[in-house]
């Protein structure tokens, strides 16, 4: 299960590189002070009661860009949930600690199965202007990483080595910290000064591109009185899916490690193809390419209807708030 969860995390990971080191005039003190005031967001911070993190990745494919949207919700002490969707809001994967739902529109089925892993969401940098953006499921037992937090959003680290290029521009109550590499690639942090967790958003784009490659939005401790989780309890979602899809909900209850690992090996062979389906429905050439990779024909009309029902079920589950399953 460890390897399977690691593989899933890798397949749901985005790497965005924004350039290499270079010299530049020193930045003003205001920009540097704002950068120093951005803390690392992690579930281990005692001041954090809840987190809502969203990430949009634009991945290049041969057909057209593929957009993945990840939304992680955390509530102290140990409530995690992650929903990965395409640009239209169709869920591809929903997971909590202990269970996951996988949405396969090519076969019009939802797979519900146990998982010995927790949702993970990480944004940080270990090299100047090279940003590691990852989300997925991560086993607690992953190769010496058991002590690492599941959530790590370290926006300040991605500016390391580029403090000299940093500028600050006012936009209402928000300050926009920006750094541009020698190659012309830009990354920006949106900061609200004077707040405990000032960074509310981050984006990065390549030179001459209007649309960012990555956008991250952060909400810490939520608005006052907020009770409804950003992603519903999986039991609640499962109930709505059963009503919307009926026979298309395939439940895997096996806890045996070998059985689950065998399932993952089979399923992950087509996982990237399933992601490509998200750009294929309106592109005949892409549809043919996906069918060739999967070595089978796909009922695209049925797949689109399946997606519609899944989105409806997810919306109903989210708006049901604290509703408990019957």
- 178 domain-assigned: yes
- 325 domain-assigned: no
Q: In the predicted model, what is the mean pLDDT of residues 206-234?
A: 76
pLDDT at residue 156, as a whole number:
93
pLDDT at residue 6, as a whole number:
36
**Residue 325 near residue 235 (C-beta atoms within 8 A):** yes
Structure tokens, 72: 């992680």
- 183 domain-assigned: yes
Question: Rounded to whole angstroms, how far apart are CA atoms 1 and 10?
Answer: 14
Give residue-wise pLDDT tens across range 101-114.
888 888 888 877 77
Q: Where are the alpha helices (DSSP H) in 184-283?
A: 234-245, 257-268, 271-276
Confidence of residue 98 (pLDDT cuts 50, 70, 90): confident
pLDDT at 14 over 80: no
Question: Rounded to whole angstroms, how far apart are CA atoms 138 and 150?
Answer: 8
Chain Cα centroid distance, residue 26: 34
Q: In the predicted model, what is the mean pLDDT of residues 44-63?
A: 86
pLDDT at 251 over 70: no
- 324 domain-assigned: no
Q: Which of 237-241, 256-260, 284-288, 312-316 has the weakest average pLDDT?
A: 256-260
pLDDT at residue 13, as a whole number:
40
Chain Cα centroid distance, residue 242: 25
Domain ranges, residue 209: 2-319
- 47 domain-assigned: yes
- 48 domain-assigned: yes
Q: Which of 13-17, 68-72, 184-188, 261-265 has the weakest average pLDDT?
A: 13-17
**DSSP at 75:** E
pLDDT at 204 over 50: yes
Mean pLDDT of the chain: 77
Q: In the predicted model, what is the mean pLDDT of residues 241-247?
A: 78
Number of domains into which the chain is organized = 1
Confidence of residue 324 (pLDDT cuts 50, 70, 90): very low
């Amino acid at each position: 299960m460890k390897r399977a969860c690691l593989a899933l995390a890798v397949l749901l990971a985005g790497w965005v590189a924004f350039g290499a080191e270079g010299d530049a005039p020193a930045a003003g003190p205001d920009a540097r002070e704002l950068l120093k005031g951005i803390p690392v967001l992690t579930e281990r911070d005692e001041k954090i009661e809840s987190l809502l993190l969203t990430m949009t990745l634009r991945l290049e494919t041969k057909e057209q860009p593929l957009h993945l949207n990840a939304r992680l919700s955390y509530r102290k002490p140990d409530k995690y949930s992650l929903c990965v969707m395409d640009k239209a809001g169709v869920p591809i994967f929903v997971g909590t600690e202990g269970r996951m739902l996988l949405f396969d529109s090519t076969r019009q089925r939802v797979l519900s199965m146990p998982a010995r892993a927790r949702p993970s969401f990480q944004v940080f940098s270990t090299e100047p202007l090279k940003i590691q953006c990852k989300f997925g499921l991560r086993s607690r037992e992953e190769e010496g990483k058991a002590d690492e937090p599941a959530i790590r959003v370290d926006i300040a680290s991605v500016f390391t080595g580029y403090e000299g290029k940093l500028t600050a521009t006012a936009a209402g109550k928000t300050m926009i910290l920006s750094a541009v590499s020698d190659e012309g690639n830009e990354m920006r942090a949106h900061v609200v000064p004077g707040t405990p967790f000032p960074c509310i958003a981050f984006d990065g784009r390549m030179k001459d591109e209007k649309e960012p490659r990555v956008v991250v939005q952060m909400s810490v401790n939520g608005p006052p009185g907020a009770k409804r989780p950003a992603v519903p309890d999986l039991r609640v979602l499962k109930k709505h899916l059963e009503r919307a899809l009926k026979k298309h909900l395939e439940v895997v209850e096996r806890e045996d490690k070998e059985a689950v690992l065998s399932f993952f090996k089979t399923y992950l062979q087509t996982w990237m193809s399933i992601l490509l389906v998200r750009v294929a429905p309106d592109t005949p050439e892409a549809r043919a390419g996906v069918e060739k990779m999967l070595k089978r024909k796909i009922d695209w009309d049925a797949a689109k209807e399946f997606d519609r029902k899944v989105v409806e079920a997810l919306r109903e589950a989210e708006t049901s708030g604290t509703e408990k399953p019957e």
